[in-house]
Structure 1
Amino acid sequence: MSATTTLSPQAVIFDAYGTLFDVHSVIAAAEQIFPGHGDALSQLWRQKQIEYTQLRTLADAGGDVAHYRPFWDVTLDALRFSAKKLQLPLGRTAEKRLMDEYACLSAFPDAVPALRLLRDAASGSGARIASRPVSASASGPSRAVSSAAGTSRGSRPGLAILSNGNPQMLDVAVKSAGMSGLFDHVLSVDAVRAYKPAPAAYALGPQAFDVHPREIVFVSSNGWDVAGATWFGFTTFWLNRQNAPLEELGVTPHGTGAGMSDLLAFLKTVTSAGRAHVTTSRIRHSPGA
């Protein structure tokens, strides 16, 4: 684990798919349907899913959103392509089963315990913040925001998901993974109709918490996502679950680790460094100093 930032986090925002939810938990069902091909189907499915989101957003770079489609539709398209590529007979029954599996992906074993620790953090774990009110307009960014009713943040950092998943997908995934009530916001890029790493997608985080991007720790297991978030200005933590090499994009995350325990240690280090920075600044600028 490494840490190269000195700001105390005001919020921690998580990517969902691949970070909190195991996208390859569909392998067991895929293997039952297509013996000997479950892993290959899952891997290609995920690859094409990400490619399609990026291609659609790139095609809309001029400001138009004509090529945007909800993440559920993109996921289905990616599944159909992958089955054809692997010459697997994907009938309606198999297609429905696999999509149902994707709707209720398993959470990584370390996800819920760590989220509960963060939610229940003691008063000294971060500065108190107030979330900015969100408009209820159906046409505005509020479509991406779901506040966790009954969650008392107190003085801990805010907690959120920021995901490519459309709101309906995220609602089902969060509930099925036992994460209900753990987040202050569940943010979907559907509000801006642009997938990560588009800046408009990442901007949903600072808008929800009304803080500067650098005051947010953004956590993702996807190297491309961490790179995009770092470029945007977030303090980033790469949850490198697959022990993958760093993407050759000329950007390094502020922290790295293999699991949520490493993230918790990183947050503790960052918070301590942030307190020291604030204390030093106060001494430096105190009257008579």
Structure 2
Amino acid sequence: MSDNSHAVHVRDGWIGVEPTVLIFDVNETLIDVEAMSPLFERVFADTRVLREWFGQVVMYSMTVTLCGCYEDYFALGRGVFSMLGDIHGVKVTPSDLDDLEHGMRTMPAHPDVEEGLRRLRDAGFRMVTLTNSPPVAGGRTPLEHAGLAGYFERQFSVDTIRTFKPAALTYHLAARELDVPPSTCLMVAAHVWDTIGAQSAGLSAGLLTRPGNAPLPVHGLPQPNIVASDLPDFADRLIARWRT
């Protein structure tokens, strides 16, 4: 492994070869979950409930996969929102739930994303997305709403196989559809659970330390091959490592 100071040292045995395909998570990695803060302020009078909600949606997506069940990500989001209403003693109306789902579908891109994607595209990397969000029949995906779809060769959803990340099957779906070995793919995500899942499935991984996210320094778990503060930072580090 390179001794590039920008990269986290990777334990022997975890993938660290040159990637040809970058697979991007969407929610929070590319699009800004914090854009829904006004809804949580209005309903719960506390924007901190947004983070509680987001963490619970992730937890229950993993739960239904482990239990062999499936409901799509938007349905889980609505259910967890109602559950938190009961927990916090707040009345959640059908209109609130509709506003939540609209927010989940229409979050804007982080301001740094387009510049980072341009740098990676110009460096010759293939780019696709892999999201827990389902496709929208007859409508635009969250990525399309954010104006980012044109940067990506394909958009993959776990809804295709009714299994949420970080199950290995989800990452292998993207590699199989692209007809490339998992070892040639690098997962880019803002969440350590996603990078651990990808690396355990035979991919390499990059972590974006969006606010509220950081590496998990636990011996025995795979550490991201690259850690960066935002997408241009990640692009510069990846290009410096594999294109110069």
Q: CA–CA distance in 1 between the matches of 2:16 and 2:243?
A: 8
Match of 1:18 in 2: 28
Match of 2:233 among 262, 278, 281: 262
User: 1:244 deviation in Å?
Assistant: 2.5
CA contact (8 A) 1:7 1:270 kept: no
Q: How does 1:118-129 map to 2 (within 5 A)?
A: 118-119=120-121, 121=122, 125=123
- 1:241 corresponds to which residue? 210
In 1, the alpha carbon distance for the partners of 2:157 and 2:17 equals 26
Q: 1:13 to 1:245 in 2, by over 3 A?
A: closer
Q: Which residue of 2 aligns with 1:212?
A: 181
Identical amino acids, percent of aligned pairs? 25
Kindly state the Cα deviation for residue 103 of structure 1 after the two structures are TM-superposed: 1.4
The offset of 1:247, in angstroms, is 5.6
Structure 2 CA distance for partners of 1:28 and 1:179, relative to 1, 3 Å: same
1:166 aligns with 2:134: yes
Shift of 1:237: 0.3
Question: What SS does the corresponding residue of 2:147 show, helix, strand or coil?
Answer: coil
Which residue of the partner structure matches residue 12 of structure 2? none
Match of 2:64 in 1: 56
What is the CA distance between 1:51 and its match in structure 2?
A: 1.0
Cα deviation code 1:16-67 (max 9, x no counterpart): 11101112210123213443x1x2221111011011110000012xxxxxx1
Give the CA RMSD over aligned residues: 2.0
**How far 1:251 moved relative to its partner?**
1.7
Gap runs ≥5 in structure 2: 1-5, 10-14
Is the CA contact 1:13–1:219 (under 8 Å) kept in the aligned structure 2? yes
Alignment of 1:41 with 2:61, yes or no, is no
Change (3 A) 1:102 1:218: same
1:64 corresponds to which residue?
A: none
> SS state of the match for residue 75, structure 2?
helix
Alignment map for 1:5-154 (pairs within 5 Å): 7-35=17-45, 37=46, 39-60=47-68, 67-119=69-121, 121=122, 125=123
Distance 1:101 1:95, change over 3 A: same
Q: Offset at 1:3? A: 5.8
Query: What does residue range 221-236 of structure 1 map to in structure 2 within 5 Å?
Result: 221-236=190-205
The whole-number CA distance in structure 1 between the counterparts of 2:225 and 2:32 is 24
Q: CA deviation at 1:195?
A: 0.5
Larger radius of gyration, structure 1 or 2?
1
Tell me the CA shift for residue 213 of structure 1. Answer: 1.4
Q: CA deviation at 1:114?
A: 1.6
CA distance in 2 between partners of 1:270 and 1:83 (Å): 47
Cα distance between partner residues in 1 of 2:115 and 2:189 = 17
Q: Give the structure 2 partner of residue 193 of structure 1.
A: 162
1:262: Cα distance to partner?
2.0
2:98 aligns to what SS in structure 1? Answer: helix
CA distance in 2, matches of 1:261, 1:113: 6
Q: For residues 111-157 of structure 1, what are the alpha-carbon distances to aligned partners after superposition, in whole Å with 9 as ceiling and x for unaligned?
A: 122223323x1xxx3xxxxxxxxxxxxxxxxxxxxxxxxxxxxxx22
1:75 Cα offset (Å): 1.3
Query: 2 CA distance for matches of 1:272 and 1:115?
Result: 15
Unaligned runs of 5+ in 1: 61-66, 126-155, 274-289
Query: How far is the alpha carbon of 1:194 from its aligned partner?
Result: 0.7
